[in-house]
């Protein structure tokens, strides 16, 4: 599989995402439901710890991808649903640490509530292998 990042501009670099990814020769697509920062029992454990919640969400995403035969490196698109848009920079810093130079495309949507009232974000993803 060949992946080519498409960025006609450079301003998105400060936000840590690509405008698009062109994928040639993919064998499989994996569409992840919204992942959250809950533990293995579905309990929210990171009260007042946004970074911990984000890191656990990405760990949960990694585990789902692994079950499907993929890795975080295969993620090409994420959609972030976030209660407090002022925290998007903090989210971006964690995402950059996770994805490095292979940042997926991203949309961020401010929401008033999520499935569990304690949650502050939920992230959907698409991966290609």
Burial of 65 (0-12, 13-18, 19+ CB in 10 A): buried
Sign of CA dihedral 99, 100, 102, 103: positive
17 pLDDT more than 90 = no
What is the share, in percent, of the chain residues with pLDDT greater than 70?
100
Question: pLDDT of 33-76, one tens digit each?
Answer: 999 999 999 999 999 999 999 999 999 999 999 999 999 999 99
CA gap 21, 3 in Å, rounded:
6
Residue 12 has pLDDT above 90, yes or no: no
Distance CA 16, CA 108 (A): 12
Which pLDDT score is estimated for 83?
A: 98
Regarding beta strands 20-24 and 105-110, do their DSSP bridges make them parallel or antiparallel, or are they unpaired? unpaired
pLDDT band at 124 (very low <50, low <70, confident <90, very high): very high
The pLDDT of residue 16 is above 90: no
CATH of 2-6+20-128, one of 3.40.50.1980, 3.30.1330.40, 3.30.930.10, 3.90.470.20: 3.30.1330.40
Q: For residues 101 and 59, what is the distance between their CA atoms, to the nearest angstrom?
A: 18
Q: What is the mean pLDDT of the chain?
A: 94
């Amino acid at each position: 599989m060949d992946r080519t990042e498409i960025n006609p501009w450079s301003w998105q670099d400060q936000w840590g995402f690509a405008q698009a990814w062109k994928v040639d020769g993919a064998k499989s697509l994996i569409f992840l439901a919204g992942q959250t920062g809950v533990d293995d029992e579905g309990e929210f454990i990171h009260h007042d710890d946004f970074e911990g919640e984000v890191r656990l969400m990405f760990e949960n995403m990694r585990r789902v991808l692994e079950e499907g035969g993929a890795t975080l490196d295969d993620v090409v698109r994420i959609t972030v649903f976030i209660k407090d848009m002022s925290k998007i920079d903090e989210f971006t810093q964690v995402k950059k640490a996770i994805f490095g130079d292979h940042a997926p495309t991203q949309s961020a949507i401010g929401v008033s509530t999520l499935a569990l009232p304690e949650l502050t974000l939920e992230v959907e993803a698409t991966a290609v292998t």
